Structure formats: structure tokens, C-alpha cells
Amino acid sequence: MNEFSIPLLAGEVNSILRKTKQQLRVPIEPQPQAGQTPSEQDIPFKVGDRIWIQENWAAHWSYNDVESEACKSETAEDDNYWYQADGVSNKGSQGCPASLRGTWRLADTMPKFVSRLHLTIEKVWIEQIQDISEDNAKAMGFVPEFFKNIEQIDLSREITAKDAFLEDWAQFRGATDLWTYAIEFSIDTDKSALHPSYLNDRESLHYQVKCAVKDTQTQHTEHFEYTTENKSLSCALEHVLVEEFKADFNALSADFNHIGEFFKLLDIESIRYIQEHNHIELSFEVRAQHKRVEIEVTLLSN
């Protein structure tokens, strides 16, 4: 059995934490020459191998001037680590307040003893990014509701999880003709430090969303509401933008990306709040259309 480390973005980490991501894609290095297909005999990953995930992190401020590998005391229980994917105001792994957090460090500097996600490889194969199936795009953590990174799309056809995945890959990773190692994994819950709030099946939650959209030029306000089923909080909120502004989607792409990042953080910061209080209110502006949006979300089931 071999062990590997793989750095991930915050959104990918949270998809694993909330159990919507069961696959990884690792680009092959070096890429094969044009017209050549990589051999499966050269795959470095094997079924049963372990992967520990690296992510942006921080240690206690007293470690600011030391190397990452030295951010550890003789008594592990005394060490606090913060994970950027949890949001900027989260408490450390031992409950320390954010005021004691040190400098943020990049994912590839994370040592194994800080990693909170340990995975076991269940299946591995070779695949070009562009050839991913719809089911595997969903296993990568994408659903059709993830519009936030799609800048050009034909709204006359059905949107797919593959659309969302390919656009996200092109924006954050690069070319979609890359050959990759496709990895299906399970979480080693004995070695992984998962927050209790992420152990709930959050996709089973239902939300009632009430929305008021005000034109800041004419002062005209429209109201609508709907109920979401089997969606995460971020998907429920993104649905507001998709339904209200899809006719002007291309003009709104910059705002969508900005608000999409806000939703990512909101989903992390607010999930425990909304589960405790069953209610949350938000407001934001969509500058491209001179709109101000007021949203009230109520948790219907927990």
C-alpha cells in the first residue's frame, strides 16, 4: 500500500466534507504526445492506496516564523489548526478562536499531521477530462445548479453536471483535453477529522426561499418564493439568480462569479447557524442589472 498527498481547492474540500464528491482527477505528468494514449500499466495509484488531502491552512500565530513541518508541539492536543475552507471566522481544530490564528499557508505546504481528510482508493482509470460522463461529473461534486462559473451557455437546452464540471475545470485547472488519472475514493472516517455538522446528510434538507428583487433605478419590486428539495444551501440560493436573471446571464457573468464565491463561503459559515436557528436573511446587489436582492431562507426539515 502506498500513500500520496493531493492539494485541493476549498470548494473541492467542502464537496468531500458534505459527501457530494467521491472522485478526483489528477493530471498525468508529463502529458503523452499528440495521438498517443497513456498506458494503464503506468498508473501510479492502485486500489487500496491511501491519499491524504492538502488544503489551505493556518497554525497558531506563535508558529508564524517557523516551517510548516515544525508547526507541532510535543502534545498534539495543544495544537490548533485552521482550514480556510471552513471560512475565515471558524474556530481551530481544538476550539481556539480565529483571533489566535496565524498566517494562512498554501495547500502544498500542509504536512500530513495537519491533514483532516484521509481517503482510500476504490477504483482508478485513465480518462481525458472532456470525456467525463454525466454520472462521473456528479461524482466529482457537480450538479446542474452550479451555474456560477459558466460564462457562455445555451440556455435553450438542458444544463448538465458535465457542463458545470468542464467549465469549472477550464477556469481553474486548464485545458479540457488533458489526460488524467480518474480516482474513485472512500473516506477513512477513523483517520479523518470531520466536523459533526458535515456528517449530516445535508442533501436531504428542504428550504423555503422568499425573495424580493428591487430595481434600484425604477424602485419597482417583485416578490416570489419557492421550496427547494434535496439541495444544499448554496444550490438553493443560486437557484434565485438562475431563475431571476437567466435571460441576462452573459451580462451577469462577472457578478455571478463574485456572488458564487460568496455563496461558497455562506454555505460553510451559515450551515450550522441555519440548522440551529432554522432561519437566515441575506441581501446583495447585482450591479450589472441595477438590482438589489433580499432573500429570506427558512429550513423546513432537518
**Residue 21's pLDDT is what?**
92
Cell 450591479 belongs to residue: 287
Contact 110, 68 (CB under 8 A): yes
Instruction: Locate 244 and state its grid cell.
Output: 431571476
Identify the pLDDT of residue 151: 47
Angle at 222 between CA 218 and CA 224, to 5 degrees: 165
**pLDDT tens-digit series, residues 99-135:** 888 999 999 999 999 999 999 999 999 999 999 999 9
* The C-alpha cell that represents 38 in the structure block: 497513456
Kindly list the domain boundaries of the chain, sorted by start residue: 3-197, 200-301
**Closest among 280, 273, 277 to 295, alpha carbons compared:** 280
- How many C-beta neighbours within 10 Å does residue 58 have? 22
Buried-exposed string 15-27: b where 16+ CB fall within 10 A, e elsewhere: bbbbbbbbbbbee
For the whole prediction, is pTM greater than 0.75?
A: no
What b-and-e string marks burial along 194-229, b requiring 16 or more CB atoms within 10 Å of the CB? eeeebeeebeebebebebebbeeeeeeeeeeeeebe
pLDDT at 228: 67
What pLDDT is stored for residue 233 in this prediction? 56
DSSP structure class, residue 289: G
Low-confidence ranges of the chain (pLDDT < 70): 75-78, 87-91, 145-157, 194-205, 228-289, 301-302
- What is the rounded distance in angstroms from the CA atom of residue 102 to the CA atom of residue 57? 9
Query: From CA 291, how far away is CA 156, in angstroms rounded?
Result: 24
pLDDT at 178: 94
Q: Among all chains, which residue has been given the C-alpha cell 515544525?
A: 70
pLDDT tens, position by position, 224-242: 777 766 555 555 555 555 5
Which residue intervals of 140-222 are DSSP H helices? Answer: 161-172
